[in-house]
Chain A
Amino acid sequence: MTLGSRDKVVHFLNRAQQFLDGMGQLKEGKGNAAALLAVHSAISFSDAIRMHFTGQRGRGDDHSEAATALRNLCLARHADASGIKHLSWLLGKKTLIAYGDDRLDPTAHLCAAFLSAERFAAWVHRTFPEVTRKDLGHD
């Protein structure tokens, strides 16, 4: 069942993809910026999924409920929820990446953020192809 408007879903998908593409372009040399795009890519993918199935997205700056909402959505749809751990990790690091006092570790933080964003995006595509194909306009 689809509740959210196609336009809004496509909007969130486009934003997620642009963040992911930007991350790819910036991760060599501008790792801090790329890591923040990794976080926001995951949030936007999550918003697209929730908009498609519930007609609503996460609200406000508190994104911590996004993973819970997505898990509940997967439970209700009997869908694989294995990718949500990547979203949870990224949400847990959002404040550190955006506002933290300390320098981010290239491996523990930056590379992990890039990998988590790519893994979360791959999980979203594989688990919800009916959502992520909305902007492709064929099938």
Chain B
Amino acid sequence: MTDIERLEVRAREAVAQLFNHRLSIPDIFFEAPWPDEKGRVELLAVDRAGTGDLHVVEIRYDSTKALEAIAKLMCIPAHFRWVAFFRETVTQQLPAGLDTRQLFPQSGPGRVGLIEILRSDKDDLSAEILVIAERFVGLKYSQIDPFEKKHEPDMCVR
């Protein structure tokens, strides 16, 4: 595992902690096979103990690569979609320097949210929301139930 890969894996915990505060008793999955066994999202969170809105997050160390991952997110069914990246890789003022059109689908509602990963002097990681995600439509709660029945969360309240 490279140093970059190590940071990306470590960032999952920071994003999970952010979601634990932002959502209500979410079920959180790492490397989740969603929407089916062929697909993988780095972090998946289902609000309200697995019965509410579904969030997916793609995490990249580099902000440019994170923005490239938005295209993948546009094809993944989820109520809320996010990309996360390390602030130290940002070379321009965000979100002012960002072409925000790339956060939106070609048609219909929804906006991909942006999460920044911060690294402290002690090398501790934390996550902050830079752009709030807006709801995408199309995913029904009944589509989430089979996933929840089949897979055990990595983090949840029991």
Chain A positions near chain B (C-beta within 8 angstroms)? 17, 20-21, 24, 118-119, 121-123, 125-126, 129, 132-133, 136, 138-139
Q: Which residues of A contact B48 (CB under 8 A)?
A: 125, 132
Q: Judge whether A20 and B51 touch: CB under 8 Å.
A: no
Q: Mark B45-89, 1 if CB is under 8 A from A, else 0.
A: 000111111000000000000000000000000000000000000
Do residues A125 and B141 form an inter-chain contact, with CB atoms below 8 A?
no
Q: Whole-angstrom distance between the alpha carbons of A118 and B157 in the complex?
A: 7
> Can you give 16 A-B contacts (C-beta < 8 A)?
A20-B24, A122-B25, A122-B49, A122-B157, A125-B52, A126-B50, A129-B145, A132-B48, A132-B52, A133-B51, A136-B52, A136-B53, A136-B141, A138-B140, A138-B141, A139-B141
Partner of A118, one of B25, B50, B142, B145: B25
Question: Does the CB pair A119–B158 fall under 8 Å?
Answer: yes
**C-alpha spacing A25/B96, complex, angstroms:** 30
Tell me if B21 is interfacial: C-beta within 8 Å of chain A: yes
Measured as residues with beta carbon below 8 angstroms from the partner, the interface class of chain B is: 10 to 19
Point out the residues of chain B lying under 8 angstroms from A139, CB to CB: 140-142
Bound complex: CA A125 to CA B148 (Å) = 13
A48 to B69, CA, bound (A): 41
Q: Considering the complex of A and B, which 5 residue pairs feature the smallest CB-CB distances, nearest first?
A: A122-B49, A125-B49, A129-B51, A139-B141, A122-B157
Closest A residue to B46 using CB positions: A125
Asked if B125 CB lies within 8 Å of chain A CBs, one says no
| CB-nearest residue of chain A to B50 | A126
Q: Please give the residue numbers on chain B whose beta carbons come within 8 Å of chain A beta carbons, in ascending order.
A: 21, 24-25, 48-53, 140-142, 145, 156-158
Residues of chain A contacted by B25 (CB below 8 angstroms): 20, 118, 121-122, 125
A interface, over-half SS? helix
Asked if A122 meets B140 with Cβ closer than 8 Å, knowing A24-B21, A129-B51, the reply is: no
Besides A118-B157, A121-B157, A136-B53, 19 new A-B residue pairs in contact (Cβ under 8 A), listed by A number = A20-B24, A20-B25, A21-B24, A118-B25, A121-B24, A121-B49, A122-B49, A122-B157, A122-B158, A125-B25, A125-B49, A125-B52, A126-B49, A126-B51, A133-B52, A133-B141, A136-B52, A139-B140, A139-B141
A17 to chain B, nearest CB (A): 6
Whole-angstrom distance between the Cβ of B44 and the nearest chain A Cβ: 17
A138 to B158: give the CA distance in the assembly, Å. Answer: 26
- A21 and B20 alpha carbons, distance in the complex (Å): 11
